[in-house]
Chains A and B, each alone.
Chain A
């Protein structure tokens, strides 16, 4: 193609050709393939340049807006993923707080339980000359919370020393632990009605025995019987408050 060809291309596109020139142009398009191809490319380039420069503002605006939306979308994606990655331990912390709260609330506002009030310190039984290993066996079993063994051990000891209030008391507790309430309460009643050092302790554990069986009314009656000077008075009052 020569310069003149391009000038006539421009003329045709801008519709500044005369009618005769236009007809001549269209005829040549039909017959001259190279001419047609060159013109088509020229036309495409004209459109290309139009879009590139004429609509530049629109194009720039669009690209900017697209960039903003893209950044925002992928930032959210990333944040979501980051949150997902950290969430397990965040959830764990939240969950444990909830659990702690729950336990606290539960302890303060829910039904009191036997286990809450019946912490047994380790016992140290008074040794009597004749008993020896039996005492040790009972003591060890009770302290290691093997109440079944403790019960048997105390039973043996009581066979030889039936009035021993210490053995009776701890055998009773062992039986409460084993849910053998009849045996426990039988022993405790006798202690309660007796005059040993375990008198009030027995009332307290009798109340606890009732508590474990969820016999709250019976428990309350017994708790009220515990006098101020008793070891367990404070606990009894606390439990009373919870039951009322």
Chain B
């Protein structure tokens, strides 16, 4: 498959990553109205739209940071698709009515669809990981927090009052435990098919 060209709208992704207020404001001015209108026209209101938009932008930020997201389509299409789906998923949870997502009508951009799918998968995994992390024992939680905040393993060991070797071993075992929890989760197969 040929290398997909990075779209010029990558600047919006970069802007989010750098916490550039100017670019974030531009995103609100340019792309948010369409989302707000869509949600209002589909049993929603401005307050819900506000939340959906914020959550989506945080997800995009996280994906950009963790997975180095590369935009291969216009930001508008990608962002709108994500918000729209997120809203419809919320409706499905709260409404008893059948909610169908008519993709063909709204988006003809294959790249946008693909990217949106990737982002949604990323978001679902994040959810699962966070859930499972909470299920770890306190010792593991504290150790992992310390390990990743304090880059030096020696310092971690010192702060926890353990040997360096023990700290390192404990780190791998804790992440190992987390891996087991994730793999044992019923959602795992959906996400990793």
Contact = CB atoms under 8 A, between A and B. Distances in A.
B178 interface: yes
A42 B176 contact: yes
A6 B172 contact: yes
Contact of A48 (B16, B25, B50, B66): B66
Interface residues of B, number: 44
Interface in B44-100: 46, 50, 53-54, 57-58, 61-62, 65-67
A35 to B, nearest CB: 12
A117 interface: no
B85 to A, nearest CB: 20
B125 A73 contact: no
A55 B36 CA distance: 31
A17 B189 CA distance: 31
Contacts of B24: 65-66, 69
Interface in A24-70: 37-38, 41-42, 44-56, 58-59, 61-63, 65-67, 69-70
Interface residues on A, range: 35 or more
A42 to B, nearest CB: 5
Interface of A is mostly: helix
Contacts of A54: 148-149, 151
Interface string A136-172: 0000000000000000000000000000000000000
Interface of B: 16, 19, 21, 24-25, 28-29, 32, 36, 46, 50, 53-54, 57-58, 61-62, 65-67, 125-126, 129-130, 133, 144-145, 147-149, 151, 168-169, 171-173, 175-176, 178-180, 182-183, 192
